[in-house]
């Protein structure tokens, strides 16, 4: 079985490598040295050839006074701040700044240096040496200034486009905690993180992936905490992505995860800024992808999927209670229907007599065996849930009403299913929703079906058989070198306790050990000791006596 996995993995990797080479036309376009020229009119012709007749490509040609130097601006309408271009690029060049009348002094020889250093008042400015680089930057919203007879090109940072404002994260709502979620715009997202971690060691490292989409990918980490080996591995895996397009972080997740054919998600994603910041501070690496609010957290262990950011804001007792509740819900969601089928079929003696009689009486008129009943109800529930997800809210309610009636009442009255099964399916469904992470809960929902079948065939032995298979798989999984089941397995006692319960914040003295970080300690010890007036007096006494000793 493990063999089969490695075999399929090999196929996958081979597939990744065998992406067809780019066509000749594309390759020609990729070679800028061949068809770049300092002459402005030829350059503009080249640009028109390469970018085509798209109506959002703007080329603005203008000359300095007395036509001494010919200039041209290239930008994409809709991606730039036009006011900035007008006020800080075109106007100073044509009419000079308030302090100096540079406009008169620009000549063909000094144009580049003068504009770069003195004339242009735009704050963000850089230079590139060939057309291809310039076009790449223009396509991401910058503005290029071409000077006739000058090979070098000035690039102004003028990015500005319509963006969604910072909104409440829809998929991870919380009762308590910040309401800010990531947006689709990378710059806003980095600023959200910077605002939370005002530390000079916060690093935001840029990579690109996707031949055609040229998607920006940022690795965010804290330089003196992160495990450098993990970081290098993340870099290596992202750099190895050779594909056409990256449209969502889900693409990256699948390209870089350890075991592509696992049913379990090996990388956590989040939309919440506070959760991302907490992960970074814990020594993990955040992979931000442009154009999506979902950020990846690396490395991930399974139990992270059972934690909500809220756990860390509520009081420890409440948070611990919720955490244990979720663990319970996880078990219910995975094994309750299978166990019910197994008990009904094989182990009736486990049920108290009165309950058994009730169940037997209710099941008397049911035409199906318990297995068929369970599969029918579970599938119905899954279909209903799926139908409700993407509908407009008003219609969605109708679906849930119809579904509730069908499942709850009509099916029982028609004698298709027993009330006991309805209760089991309902409890399972609610438990599934209690798991915070959707991607983890969906893998549990899938696994439920084989477990039901095993339970119907071999009773509880079949259920435990299935669970052991899942356990073998989980115990072998790793996420970037960190075992998937940490810290409950393979972890230190400290981390283990922190998984099951949520101790008060002043006990979070160390970061997770298995991440092998550069700095394990996150806070001073003993800060919890509250000082009573008496102790304060004692402390003051000690200090004075120390001073005396020092003087003596």
Summarize as ranges the residues that interact with other proteins (CB under 8 A): 1-3, 346-347, 349-350, 352, 458-461, 463-465, 468-469, 471-472, 475-476, 483, 485, 488-490
Q: Are strands 153-156 and 125-128 parallel, antiparallel or unpaired?
A: antiparallel
Nearer to other proteins among residue 453 and residue 469 (C-beta)? 469
Supply the DSSP symbol for 272.
B
**Around Cβ 96, how many Cβ atoms within 10 Å?**
18
Nearer to other proteins among residue 251 and residue 480 (C-beta)? 480
| Residue in 210, 208, 193, 209 with CA at minimum distance from that of residue 285 | 193
Scan for tokens 């073998």, then name that residue: 472
As measured in angstroms, the least distance from the Cβ of 259 to other proteins is 12
H or E stretch covering 125: strand 125-128
As measured in angstroms, the least distance from the Cβ of 464 to other proteins is 5
Tokens of 503: 């101790």
As measured in angstroms, the least distance from the Cβ of 240 to other proteins is 23
As measured in angstroms, the least distance from the Cβ of 170 to other proteins is 35
Q: How far is Cα 228 from Cα 235, in angstroms, rounded to an integer?
A: 10
Beta strands in 186-327 (DSSP E): 202-209, 215-222, 268-270, 285-289, 295-298
Nearer to other proteins among residue 210 and residue 420 (C-beta)? 420
As measured in angstroms, the least distance from the Cβ of 5 to other proteins is 10
Nearer to other proteins among residue 55 and residue 354 (C-beta)? 354
**Crossing angle for the helix pair 316-345 and 493-500, nearest 10 degrees?**
80
Nearer to other proteins among residue 2 and residue 45 (C-beta)? 2
As measured in angstroms, the least distance from the Cβ of 28 to other proteins is 48
Measured in degrees and rounded to the nearest 5, phi and psi for residue 256 equal -105, -5
Nearer to other proteins among residue 245 and residue 468 (C-beta)? 468
| Residue in 202, 121, 187, 178 with CA at minimum distance from that of residue 154 | 121
> Burial letters for 432-443: b for 16+ Cβ neighbours within 10 Å, e otherwise?
bebbbbeebbeb
As measured in angstroms, the least distance from the Cβ of 484 to other proteins is 9
Q: How far is Cα 125 from Cα 405, in angstroms, rounded to an integer?
A: 64
Q: How far is Cα 181 from Cα 274, in angstroms, rounded to an integer?
A: 8
| Residue in 172, 226, 231 with CA at minimum distance from that of residue 197 | 226
Tokens of 172: 């991870």
| Residue in 435, 470, 325, 442 with CA at minimum distance from that of residue 385 | 442
| Residue in 357, 301, 323, 246 with CA at minimum distance from that of residue 486 | 301
First to last CA, the chain: 77
As measured in angstroms, the least distance from the Cβ of 346 to other proteins is 7
Nearer to other proteins among residue 313 and residue 461 (C-beta)? 461
Nearer to other proteins among residue 207 and residue 489 (C-beta)? 489
The number of angstroms, rounded, from the C-alpha of 290 to the middle of its chain's C-alpha atoms is 11
As measured in angstroms, the least distance from the Cβ of 478 to other proteins is 10
Nearer to other proteins among residue 5 and residue 312 (C-beta)? 5
As measured in angstroms, the least distance from the Cβ of 283 to other proteins is 21
Q: How far is Cα 364 from Cα 342, in angstroms, rounded to an integer?
A: 18
As measured in angstroms, the least distance from the Cβ of 351 to other proteins is 8
Nearer to other proteins among residue 350 and residue 361 (C-beta)? 350
Nearer to other proteins among residue 291 and residue 331 (C-beta)? 331
- 299 cis-preceded (ω within 30 degrees of 0): yes
């Amino acid at each position: 079985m493990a063999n089969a996995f490695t075999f399929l993995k090999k196929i996958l990797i081979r597939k990744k490598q065998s992406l067809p080479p780019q066509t000749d036309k594309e390759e020609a376009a990729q070679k800028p040295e061949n068809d770049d020229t300092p002459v402005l009119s030829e350059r503009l012709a080249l640009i028109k050839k390469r970018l085509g007749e798209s109506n959002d490509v703007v080329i603005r040609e203008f000359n300095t006074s007395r036509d001494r130097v010919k200039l041209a601006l290239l930008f994409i309408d809709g991606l730039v701040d036009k006011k900035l271009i007008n006020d800080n690029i075109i106007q100073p060049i044509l009419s000079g700044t308030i302090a100096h009348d540079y406009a008169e002094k620009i000549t063909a020889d000094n144009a580049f240096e003068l504009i770069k250093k003195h004339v242009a008042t735009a704050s963000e400015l850089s230079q590139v040496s060939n057309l291809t680089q310039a076009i790449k930057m223009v396509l991401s919203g910058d503005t290029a200034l071409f000077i006739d007879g000058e090979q070098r090109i000035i690039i102004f940072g003028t990015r500005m486009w319509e963006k969604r404002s910072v909104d409440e994260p829809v998929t991870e709502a919380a009762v308590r905690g910040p309401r800010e979620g990531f947006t689709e715009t990378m710059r806003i997202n980095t600023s959200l993180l910077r605002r939370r971690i005002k530390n000079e060691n916060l690093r935001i490292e840029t990579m690109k992936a996707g031949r055609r989409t040229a998607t920006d990918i940022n690795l965010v980490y804290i330089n003196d905490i992160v495990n450098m080996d993990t970081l290098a591995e993340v870099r290596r895996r992202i750099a190895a992505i050779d594909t056409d397009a990256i449209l969502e972080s889900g693409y990256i997740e699948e390209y870089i995860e350890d075991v592509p054919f696992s049913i379990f998600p090996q990388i956590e994603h989040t939309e919440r800024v506070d959760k991302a910041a907490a992960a970074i501070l814990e020594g993990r690496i955040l992979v931000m992808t442009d154009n999506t609010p979902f950020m990846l957290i690396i490395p991930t262990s399974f139990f992270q999927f059972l934690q909500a950011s809220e756990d860390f804001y509520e009081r420890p007792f409440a948070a611990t209670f919720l955490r244990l509740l979720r663990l319970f819900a996880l078990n219910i969601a995975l094994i309750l229907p299978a166990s019910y089928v197994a008990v009904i079929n094989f182990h009736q003696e486990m049920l108290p007599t009165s309950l058994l009689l009730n169940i037997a009486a209710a099941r008397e008129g049911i035409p199906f065996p318990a297995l068929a009943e369970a599969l029918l109800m579970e599938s119905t529930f899954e279909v209903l849930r799926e139908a409700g997800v993407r509908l407009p809210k008003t219609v969605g309610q109708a679906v849930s009403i119809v579904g509730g009636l069908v499942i709850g009442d009509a099916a029982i009255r028609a004698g298709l299913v027993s009330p006991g099964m309805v209760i089991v399916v309902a409890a399972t469904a609610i438990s599934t929703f209690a798991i915070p992470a959707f991607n983890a809960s969906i893998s549990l929902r899938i696994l439920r079906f084989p477990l039901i079948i095993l339970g119907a065939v071999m009773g509880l032995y079949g259920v435990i058989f299935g669970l052991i298979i899942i356990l073998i798989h989980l115990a072998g999984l790793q996420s970037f070198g960190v075992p998937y089941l940490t810290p409950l397995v393979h972890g230190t006692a400290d981390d283990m306790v922190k998984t099951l319960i949520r101790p008060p914040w002043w006990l979070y003295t160390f970061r997770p050990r298995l991440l092998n970080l550069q700095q394990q300690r996150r806070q001073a010890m003993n800060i919890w000791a509250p000082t009573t007036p008496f102790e304060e007096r004692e402390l003051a006494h000690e200090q004075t006596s120390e001073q005396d000793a020092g003087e003596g």
